[in-house]
Chain A
Amino acid sequence: MSGPSTYEPKSGFTRWLDKRLPIIRLAHDSFIAYPTPRNLNYWWTFGAMLSLALVIQIVTGVVLAMNYMPQINMAFASVERIRRDVPFGWLLQSMHAVGASMFFLAVYVHMFRGLYYGSYKAPREVLWILGCLIYALMIATAFLGYTLPWGQMSFWGATVITNILGAVPLIGSAIQVWIRGGGAIDEPTLNRFFSLHYLLPFVIAGVVVLHIWALHESGQNNPTGVEAKSKQDTVAFTPYATIKDAVALGLFFILYSVFIFFLPQALGHTDNFIPANPMQTPSEIVPEWYLLPFYAILRAFDFNIGPIDSKTAGVFAMFLSIGVLFVLPWLDTSRVRSMRYRPTARWCFVIFVAVCLGLGWCGGQNPGAVLAKAGPFSATLQYVEGGATQTQSLTVDAPQDFQKTADELQASLIHGGAQMVDISREGARTATVLVARGGVARTRTITADSSDDLEDRITAAKAEIAPRTAFVGITRVTPFLFTVTRLSQLLTFYYFFFFIVILPLLGLSETPNRVPDTIAKPVVAQGAA
């Protein structure tokens, strides 16, 4: 996209250097004279934010590593020492922890921008794939880093995630042991996680270089999705884009500072201030907020799919949810790049964003939590007041005949005039049968809003009825429950449906709005951002 280099070395030294290592020329061509579309909005500033966030994480990380000790007996204490004794240690630790959240916040906005404006479409497929690779590396780095403080959540989160690897068929358990360096998360695991956590950000930096290189090959996308055609469409990167990036960075730092200085623990979890205890699991294990959507997808699969058990299905779906991003350029068939001109796609995208946020919320909830139910929990108590109760026993020859014989006996007793029959199985072939006759048959219905509440009321009712009758028959009715898991399943369905069905089909069937010819032509209806 950039034409011939316009750099002209002015001084003797720069001319000398330019012939030997044209690094200033490279910087000039890439970041000063580089032609940038003039209509980029603030959604395009997140790339610069991400580069700076990476630098901040690396610098604070290197400095923290001067004081952190990756041994299980010293890790937690060394973090406390950093917070208390190292000059500005409290600030550096906070910057690093909050910085990870800011990094993910920026990357999600950056990715959503790419989705909306079609930045993944030809000729930017490799750019997009490199971005997905950076994202995957970020997730790995964040997971490794979270283990290092060696709190309860660090330890148990690492246990759960390495257990996930055990779901890989055939070689799963071998991989698990290989990654952990033992049967459980322990000293070797912590040490190697620290080493890898130190390494991966530099790998990310390398892929970022490739990412920017690929970007400069094709040039930036822009809100219209129409490629820049002439000099009128573009402006020089510096100062036009640079100053816009700077304003956005200012706002980014304001948000960053609010968290660091006034809400340093808001994004974390209190359980991580409890030193890791392999003997006791916390009441709930949750990852950091930026991994919650994947956690929701993982837990949504509480059912087997044919021969695939639920654990494997969940793991597979979780990896697929990131994997599907890599092939997105080939899934979307639309010839119009930007969703600004694709009204139907735009709505599907909005729903998609809401779904992602919803998945994030679900990931942080108790999976069994009931969001709505079709009716109250209820139970019907049947008992016979007064009358006489007989006891007899039942024996069958073969255990497998028991149910059939019991049912037949119950039917014949009722037919013979018994009001209530209760058959309690004592062993494989024997049971005690209680038969009530001659009294008044009563029923009582109890309702409640939760199963715990229902049980309490059943117990109270039974206590009240007990003096008047020999036994009580209880039939419980659980209404249809819309749990967090059900919601996660719906949202997961839409997530995959969006990529695998909606985008391919929409591209073929949708009638897009008229796309402008060039960037430079004034866009009259400025309402579309």
Chain B
Amino acid sequence: MTEAHADTHGSEDATRRDFIFIAVGAVATVGAGAAVWPFIDQMNPAADTRAMSTTEVDLSQIPVGSEIKAVWQGKPVFIRHRTPSEVGQALRDDFAQLKDPQSDEDRIQQKDGKAGKPEWLILQANCTHLGCVPLPSFDPGYRGHYGGWFCPCHGSDYDTSGRIRSGPAPKNLLIAPYTFLTDHSIRIG
């Protein structure tokens, strides 16, 4: 290969060289970024996980004053059949000093905004502190003061509407989206 003369075009060549290198670098970086994305995205929930499954629950077997835990998307959900006094307490507590203010009415409404039924409270059963499942008021291990739930892990105390009243949890127990299918059955999710 015949060699070119030692370059006498000095800065012109230097600019051209720089341009080529910058162009290559830029295109390669864009490509590398695009190539990395699938590896990151593949850890996001897959299509089968994303297709939200729904859980249907028959409420007719839950007596007043008791609750069941249903499973929705792999997580527990409290379905509490509240007594009238629990409902009354919840309504009164609307005006108490709340870390995470929210009215009881808002917490019982259905997924599409329609009004719920005051005796039915459907909440995600994970403490908003670090995720343990709190104990209901009628459980032998219950040590709370507000008639709702008590989390044995770090002492978070929830009232009859599932609102945080004392303890380290920052937020109220999260609402699970649900819809009444009939008077006695709901679909969660």
Contacts and interface: CB of A to CB of B under 8 A. Distances in A.
12 contacts: A66-B43, A67-B46, A81-B46, A81-B48, A86-B46, A87-B47, A88-B38, A89-B42, A91-B38, A92-B39, A92-B42, A526-B1
A63 B43 CA distance: 8
A161 to B, nearest CB: 31
Contacts of B44: 87
B42 A88 contact: yes
A59 B1 contact: no
Interface in B30-46: 38-39, 41-44, 46
Contacts of A89: 42, 46
Nearest to A56: B35
Contact of A59 (B39, B46, B48): B39
A63 B46 CA distance: 13
B146 to A, nearest CB: 43
Residue of B38, B41, B42, B43 with most chain A CB atoms under a 10 A cut-off:
B42
Interface residues of B, number: 10
Nearest to A90: B38
Interface of A: 59, 63, 66-67, 81, 84-89, 91-92, 526
A416 B42 CA distance: 90
A84 B49 CA distance: 12
Contacts, number: 33
A92 B1 CA distance: 43
Given A63-B39, A63-B42, 16 more contacts: A63-B43, A66-B42, A66-B43, A67-B42, A67-B46, A81-B48, A85-B47, A86-B42, A87-B41, A87-B42, A87-B46, A89-B42, A91-B38, A92-B38, A92-B39, A92-B42
A61 to B, nearest CB: 12
Contacts of A86: 42, 46-47
A441 B38 CA distance: 81
A66 B43 CA distance: 8
A66 B39 CA distance: 11
Residue of B38, B41, B48 with most chain A CB atoms under a 10 A cut-off:
B38
Contact of B48 (A85, A88, A91, A526): A85
Contacts of B39: 59, 63, 92
Contacts of B48: 81, 85
A84 B51 CA distance: 13
A63 B42 CA distance: 8
A190 to B, nearest CB: 23
A91 to B, nearest CB: 6
Contacts of A66: 42-43
B103 to A, nearest CB: 39
Nearest to A239: B21
